[in-house]
């Protein structure tokens, strides 16, 4: 049995039964992380000494029969946009100095610490998390576990690659326009962007209420368990939601029978979806129907809000880098410099017009979910393309949003949305299916995904080559 292949739920069962210890698991997971790093580049740094120390403390608690919490002894990685006490958070940028006290955890990290999780290290991100692939001036290119010539996606690409390759079953990612769901789809794992505010965030993102924090895991059951831990209020986030009405783990038991599912294969023909992606998603949707869901092929009125998203995204980037000196600004990746310049030229009235577009879109989706419990789409219309590029070769688009039309609208609307792996293309690259629910109905997203896992309709997409 490879301990690195086990889910968090299975690890906890093993700890409880005395089959293995958190120290054994942590040692094996760290060894796996060291082995994959040269080829995939998933980590900014490994925190090996701290991880082993926490694992030993956890092992002692399990021997006494006194685990500290729901995730005691489970290895976790943290995207390097989130603070981890005692270690620098460099955000993929050479403009951030390692000097400092680094004495505070981000809210979800703090909750994990309270529940006894073992922190393995910080995972890679593009500079300030600004795009849908993971390469940066600081750490270079993060590569796909199934084909290292391809991208892992982004901006939580390091987290996705680490989970896919057994370097920890759980990771914390962030998602401002698809940054959990895109790499989850490209790397064949489960990724959930919860309802905005369900997972508190501090410091606040410069991208404002577009930016969500959530689980990246092997399956929906692990994500539900992780969300039970991190989805609790924190006084530092004034926009955080109150406690959830119940356990997300308990909510998994509901299944999909009787749920009303809207299936939109291409947003009404707005999106050109690769045939192999479309076929894999259609097959998974058919399985939802056999499990008892009422499925109807229909499209929400999204009226492509990319211009409004760009206004909000580019102004956030401009604000993020506003304090940099001219010299340090030249250290930024050229694409990031470009969108910062565009954002800096945006007027307040243009910004507020984008906010209006967002409000109208949110209202339309609210009405849509009065008729349908879930919306299902492809996560991304393509599979992983060449690493080191912002867009696929031959694309007519300059920015990453051009090939992610299914993801960023639901950051505008703040809805929960997940990517589940539903197969592979002809090159053996994973295909993701997106499941979306109304705001505050994270439980429905997790229920539907878990039902597919239980029915073995969703599984790791392939055997990673690394």
Catalytic-role residue among 21, 93, 136, 155: 155
Q: Which of 21, 58, 79, 171 is catalytic?
A: 79
For residue 87, the 8-state DSSP code is B
DSSP state of 93: -
216-225 b/e with 16+ CB inside 10 Å = b? bbbbbbbbbb
155 carries an active-site annotation? yes
Per residue, what are the HEC states of 352-416? Answer: HHHHHHHHHHHHHHHHHHHHCCEEEEECCCCCCCECCCCCCCCCCCCCHHHHCCCCCHHHHCCCC
Residues 27, 54 contacting (CB under 8 angstroms): no
Choose the catalytic residue: 21, 159, 179, 264. Answer: 179
Respond yes or no: is residue 122 known to be catalytic. no
DSSP, residue by residue, 126-146: SGGG-SSS-EETTTEE-EETT
Return the SS3 of 83: coil
- Which value, to the nearest 10 degrees, does the dihedral of the CA atoms of residues 32, 34, 38, 41 take? 80
Two structure tokens written together for 363: 């209202």
Contacts of 212 (CB under 8 A, 6+ apart): 174, 175, 176, 180, 193, 194, 195, 196, 198, 199, 411, 414
Contact assessment for residue 432 and residue 407, using Cβ atoms and an 8 Å cutoff: no
Given strand 118-123, what is the order of strands in its sheet?
43-46, 118-123, 75-79, 170-175, 212-217, 190-193, 417-424, 430-437, 374-378, 260-263, 294-297
Identify the DSSP state of 245: S
End-to-end CA distance of the chain, in Å?
19
- How many Cα atoms sit within 13 Å of 85 on the Cβ side? 13
109 CB-near residues (< 8 Å, 6+ apart): 78, 82, 83, 84, 85, 119, 172
Q: Which of 137, 147, 93 is nearest to 387 (CA)?
A: 147
Residues catalogued as catalytic:
79, 155, 179
């Amino acid at each position: 049995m490879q301990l690195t292949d086990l889910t968090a739920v299975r690890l906890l069962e093993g700890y409880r039964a005395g089959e293995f210890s958190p120290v054994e698991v942590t040692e094996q997971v760290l060894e796996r992380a060291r082995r994959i790093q040269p080829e995939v580049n998933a980590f900014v740094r490994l925190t090996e000494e701290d991880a082993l120390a926490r694992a030993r403390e956890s092992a002692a608690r399990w021997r006494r029969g006194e685990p500290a919490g729901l995730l005691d002894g489970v290895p976790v990685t943290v995207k390097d946009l989130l603070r981890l006490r005692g270690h620098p958070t460099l955000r993929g940028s050479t403009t951030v100095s390692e000097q400092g006290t680094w004495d505070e955890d981000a809210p979800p990290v703090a909750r994990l610490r309270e529940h006894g999780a073992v922190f393995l290290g910080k995972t890679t991100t593009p500079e300030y998390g600004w795009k849908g692939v993971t390469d940066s001036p600081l750490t270079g290119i993060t590569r796909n576990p199934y084909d290292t010539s391809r991208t892992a996606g982004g901006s939580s690409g390091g987290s996705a690659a680490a989970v896919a390759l057994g370097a920890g079953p759980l990771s914390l990612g962030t998602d401002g326009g698809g940054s959990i769901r895109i790499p989850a789809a490209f790397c064949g794992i489960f990724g959930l962007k919860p309802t905005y505010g369900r997972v508190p965030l501090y410091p606040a993102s410069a991208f404002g209420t577009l930016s969500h924090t959530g689980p990246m895991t092997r399956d929906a059951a692990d994500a539900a368990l992780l969300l039970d831990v991190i989805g609790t209020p924190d006084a530092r986030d004034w926009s955080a939601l109150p406690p959830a009405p119940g356990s997300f783990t308990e909510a998994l038991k509901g299944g999909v029978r009787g749920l009303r599912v809207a299936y939109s294969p291409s947003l009404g023909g707005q999106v050109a979806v690769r045939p192999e992606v479309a076929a894999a998603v259609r097959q998974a949707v058919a399985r939802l129907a056999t499990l008892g869901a009422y499925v109807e092929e229909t499209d929400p009125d999204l009226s492509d809000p990319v211009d409004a998203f760009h206004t909000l995204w580019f102004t956030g980037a401009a604000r993020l880098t506003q304090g940099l000196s001219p010299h340090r600004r030249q250290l930024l990746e050229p694409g990031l410099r470009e969108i910062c310049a565009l954002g800096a030229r945006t007027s307040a009235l243009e910004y507020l017009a984008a906010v209006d577009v967002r409000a109208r879109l949110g209202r339309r989706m609210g009405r849509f979910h009065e008729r349908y419990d879930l919306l299902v789409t492809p996560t991304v219309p393509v599979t992983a393309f060449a690493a080191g590029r912002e867009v696929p070769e031959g694309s007519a688009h300059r920015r990453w949003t051009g090939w992610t039309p299914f993801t960023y609208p639901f950051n505008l609307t703040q809805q929960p949305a997940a990517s589940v792996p539903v197969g592979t293309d002809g090159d053996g690259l994973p295909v993701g299916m997106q499941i979306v629910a109304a705001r505050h109905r994270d439980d429905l997203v997790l229920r539907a995904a878990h039902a597919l896992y239980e029915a073995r309709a969703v599984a790791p997409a392939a055997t990673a080559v690394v």
